[in-house]
Amino acid sequence: MSEPIEVRKGLVGVYADDSSVSKVMPETNSLTYRGYAVQDLCENSSFEEVAYLLWHGELPDAVQLAAFQAEERAQRGLGPGLLRVLREFPHGAHPMDMIRTAISFMGLEDAEAADVSDAAQRRKAMRIFAMAPTAVAASNRLSKGLEPIAPDPTLPFCDNFFHMVFGRVPAAEVIRAFDVSMILYAEHTFNASTFAARVVTSTMADMHGAITAGIAALKGPLHGGANEAVMHMLSEIPSPGKAEAWLRARFDHKALVMGFGHRVYKNGDSRVPTMKKYAEVMAEVVGDKRWMNTSAVLARVMLAEKNIHPNLDFPAGPAYFLMGFDIPMFTPIFVCSRITGWAAHVLEQGADNRLIRPLSHYVGLEQRTVPAIGLR
């Protein structure tokens, strides 16, 4: 008699491969990138330094960082072909669909697109990293009937993004909060979009294809789209004083409450305290505490009644809203951050590759004969 087959839906508890990029420790609710606690990275480094760390395994020194920044800044511009594509997107197209298509088009224009050597993959990763924020900002402005703003090579990564979206660079506190969010979203082990990118890479497909797969997975509301869903949810609540009643009504209807719970963290997402701190900074800078006060009520009741903690998307949603970003931009911003983690995994998968091809447990009908059409 054969052994019973154990099927783990969602690959829960399955170790699919080794990785040295990041580590989640559920027992301590902690996360490290290349051995560094993410909270330490947020307090002591920039997003650009973290991008370098993820791709090279070590934090850069001053000379390495300057070279990395110079390379990124030199490649931010979009070619006329891609700009024409962005202008032709249908009115009302979702920004995630636009950035996914933009990355695919970048591959069409990239002379090294089919070269999957480590050196070429790294060069392509840098080009995607540099150009993706430009594409996100340009598509956002075009959707509003505004002309794109060209990237400014004199500005740091995060400052330049605000420049391209709004035409101005905000206060240092806003830039710092945004930079921290980018660090927190950069990498998170074998999440759905990263695993999708690794599966594509395992077929020896190119960097653009892998990143496009990651974006497609990230659009889903159970993954990256959750930060948008959080802000839509908060916008439904008239005031902080009515938040508890609103939430209890959701309980009564057994409706989903966005921004809570995590597949890996059971006692709190390690990234939340840092993001919450900077979301509160944004509330102070803007002078609007409604969203954070409402969030505090939801978090308190969810913990007391359901013993469920918030995840990173819960404070990130209102933080991005307070920065002035349109809600549909939240997940494309996530893309601009997570490209660093996806690329790190593409490089790691490619360095010791084996085609990812799991088994399925068949539960359909046993083999049968095909009847004549008149007997069906």
Mean pLDDT of 64-78: 99
Mean pLDDT of 242-259: 94
Q: Do 178 and 99 fall into the same domain?
A: yes
> What tens digit of pLDDT does each residue of 162-182 get?
999 999 999 999 999 999 999
Residue 2 has pLDDT above 70, yes or no: no
Determine contact, residues 125/109, Cβ cutoff 8 Å.
no
Q: Do 46 and 76 fall into the same domain?
A: yes
Asked whether residue 203 is domain-assigned, the answer is: yes
Q: Do 67 and 147 fall into the same domain?
A: yes
Mean pLDDT of 186-191: 96
Tokens of 23: 């580590």
Mean pLDDT of 295-308: 96
Residue 29 has pLDDT above 80, yes or no: no
Q: Do 183 and 264 fall into the same domain?
A: no
> What tens digit of pLDDT does each residue of 340-352 get?
999 999 999 999 9
Active-site residue flag, 313: yes
Residue 336 has pLDDT above 70, yes or no: yes
Residue 326 has pLDDT above 80, yes or no: yes
Mean pLDDT of 62-82: 98
Mean pLDDT of 33-42: 97
Q: Would strands 30-33 and 22-25 be described as parallel, antiparallel, or unpaired? A: antiparallel
Distance in angstroms (rounded) separating the CA atoms of residues 313 and 227? 4
Q: Do 289 and 149 fall into the same domain?
A: no
Least confident of 143-147, 257-261, 334-338: 257-261
Q: Do 273 and 315 fall into the same domain?
A: yes
Which range of residues forms the domain containing residue 143? 22-222+327-351
Percent of the chain with pLDDT over 70: 99
Supply the pLDDT for residue 266.
75
Candidates 110, 206, 269, 313; catalytic one: 313
Supply the pLDDT for residue 25.
87
Could you give the number of structural domains in the chain? 2
Confidence of residue 264 (pLDDT cuts 50, 70, 90): confident
Supply the pLDDT for residue 312.
94
Supply the pLDDT for residue 261.
84
Candidates 17, 97, 223, 288; catalytic one: 223
CATH code assigned at 256 = 1.10.230.10
Asked whether residue 284 is domain-assigned, the answer is: yes
CA geometry: angle 52, 54, 57, nearest 5 deg:
85
Confidence of residue 26 (pLDDT cuts 50, 70, 90): confident
Supply the pLDDT for residue 305.
94
Residue 139 has pLDDT above 70, yes or no: yes
Candidates 262, 269, 309, 345; catalytic one: 262
Q: Do 37 and 180 fall into the same domain?
A: yes
Q: Do 214 and 239 fall into the same domain?
A: no
Q: Do 216 and 302 fall into the same domain?
A: no
Residue 4 has pLDDT above 90, yes or no: no
